[in-house]
Structure 1
Amino acid sequence: MVNRDSLMHNIESFEKIIKYEFKDKDNLVLALTHSSYANEYKSEKLISNERLEFLGDSVLSVVISENIYKNYSHLSEGEMTKFRANVVCEASLENCANNLSIGQYLLLGKGEEITGGRTRTSILSDAMEALIGAIYLDGGLESAKSFVLSQMEKFIDDSIKGEIFMDYKTQLQEIIQKNNDQKVTYEIIDEKGPDHSKIFVSQVKLDDKVIGVGEGRTKKEAEQMAAKTSLKKIT
């Protein structure tokens, strides 16, 4: 188990990186405590950061939603929903976590440490959400808002510009590869509307079975939407 002096040194170092000093250091320790570490030291009655992830996810959604609503008045509800999803996705959270070197400061169990937990996407993105939740608990919504926007405002701008998007195709491919060796293929099955405003319809197959259909203004977007439909069914 990490000794107290070493832990406090790490906390001070990490606070300098995130530019936020915790009033209650236990909030930060909790944010950095992965379930594998808590389970490994059950006798210490440690709590993992999973509940903080839940809180941080909600705070993150509110902050990003408010920013998009206030600064991009030309967007419809559907567009705002899409752009928010781009920003709060696992890839963006992992990017932020790496920028802050969160992986270096996580409290991990030995097994998770050996298998590369400090660089695992799911662990890093969850820790980022937990950190947001911890700052919210420690300093309130304004502190959390300031932190989130300092880290993610660029992602909002990039999302609005169309420079980032939720890559459902990659997510689907990764899930399929984990479970079996089946082949994922996409096919444009229909085109609707006039040439200047065409809508493409794509289907995605797992071997020969259709598992999702989606529409979009480009073939790539239609494939992404088909993958999104498939993900909903699979997960």
Structure 2
Amino acid sequence: MNIEEILNNCQAAIKYEFRNKSYLLEAITHRTYANESKNKMKYNQRLEFLGDSVLSLIISDYLFKKYNTSKEGLLSKVKSSLVSQKSLADISKELKLGDFLLLGHGEEVSGGRYRDNMLEDLFEAIVGAIYLDSGITNAAKFVMTAYKNRLTNLDIENFDKDYKTIFQELIQKKHKTSPVYKSYEYHDENNHEMFKAEVYVNDKNFSSGIGKSKKEAETEAAKKALENIERVSKTIKKNRQNK
């Protein structure tokens, strides 16, 4: 694809049409590509710097207004999680933004297009580019759309609790008992030491999890148990609505 096609496809992916496409070109251009280019090009580090602050403001404003009784400490932890490298990289992967990144040859062959740090920087740069192109309102629209599922499923009341604690409190409330974990060690096909944990409630196997430690395996089992409960609840609710 030529540059114009890449810009058009990127705009389609982010559902925003730039008034000034030079902002988008700068946002998707990595330093290594600019250095190898015969023409003098801007690259995305400055936009990344701007976008980081714009994104932080948008998410902070949302949390401040949505959770108007929550304390600053909790809101800070939630915001940090939402704007973490992993969150931004995951969103970039969902939008397939890595497909539009302009990289130098060395970064391209080493897999830089899909590295989390690259995708984090790219997302922030695009936020900064939209902000420069048309202001905070459209930047916020883009961010809110990209974060829709994460914000919809945000359980701020349980944010500080781990999955085992949440599952235990739920089971104690519903069944007047506590979940029991049974774990054992094994070696995978590469002979790496691994753990598998199964969680039981009243001798019924709720789910299982795998991890590099006993704690990690039990946490994964609790997480899957909660997901199973949520899935069953949604199915029951849907069936009732269809009657």
CA 1:76 to 1:31, structure 2 compared with 1: closer, same or farther past 3 Å? same
| Structure 2 match to 1:14 | 10
What's the CA shift string for 1:176-230, capped at 9, x where partnerless? xxxxxxxxxxxxxxxxxxxxxxxxxxxxxxxxxxxxxxxxxxxx9xxxxxxxxxx
**1:40-96 residue CA offsets vs partner (Å, 9 max, x unmatched):** 22x411111000000000000000000000001121011111110010000110011
Equivalent position of 1:33 in the other structure = 29
- Post-superposition shift, 1:158? 2.4
Q: Hey, what does 2:81 align to over in structure 1?
A: 86
Deviation of residue 154 (structure 1)?
A: 2.9
> How many Å separate the matches in 2 of 1:10 and 1:98?
16
Q: Within 2, Cα distance between the matches of 1:164 and 1:44? A: 50
Instruction: Kindly provide the amino acid, as one letter, of the partner of residue 114 in structure 2.
Output: T
Larger radius of gyration: 2
Q: Evaluate the alpha carbon distance shift between residue 127 and residue 77 of structure 1 in structure 2; reply closer, same or farther with a 3 A threshold.
A: same
Structure 2 contact 78–159 (Cα < 8 Å) conserved: no
Matched position secondary structure for 2:86: helix
Q: Cα–Cα, structure 1 residues 161 and 38, in superposed 2: closer, same or farther, change >3 Å?
A: farther
1:162 to 1:108, Cα distance in 2 relative to 1, 3 A: farther
Is 1:47 matched with 2:42?
yes
1:154 alignment partner AA: N
Measure how far apart 1:24 and its partner are: 0.5
The partner residue of 1:160 within 146, 156, 166 is: 156
Cα distance in 2 for partners of 1:99, 1:164 equals 26
TM-score of the pair, normalised by structure 2: 0.63
CA–CA distance in structure 2, aligned partners of residues 12 and 164 of structure 1: 41
Distance 1:164 1:154, change over 3 A: farther
Matched, 1:65 2:46: no
Runs ≥4 residues deviating over 4 A: 161-165
| CA separation of 1:35 and 1:162: change in aligned 2, threshold 3 A | farther
The total of aligned residue pairs comes to 161
Residue 114 of structure 1 aligns to which amino acid in structure 2?
A: V
1:163 Cα deviation after fit: 6.5
Query: Residue 47 of structure 1: SS of its match in structure 2?
Result: coil
Q: Which residue of 2 aligns with 1:144?
A: 139
Identity of aligned residues (%): 40
Counterpart AA for 1:78: G
Of residues 92, 95, 119, the one that matches 2:90 is 95
Paired residues of 1:87 and 1:159 also in contact (CA < 8 A): no
Partner Cα distance (2:30, 2:159) in 1:
32
Looking at structure 2, the residues matched to 63 and 27 of structure 1 have their Cα atoms a distance apart, in angstroms, of 20
Unaligned runs of 5+ in 1: 166-219, 221-235
Q: Report the Cα distance in structure 2 between the residues aligned to 1:9 and 1:98, rounded to whole angstroms.
A: 20
Amino acid in the other structure paired with 1:97: S
| Residues 160, 33 of structure 1: alpha-carbon distance in 2 compared, 3 angstrom cutoff | same
Contact 1:36 1:112 in 2 (8 A): yes
2:117 to 101, 118, 122: 122
TM-score by length of 1: 0.65
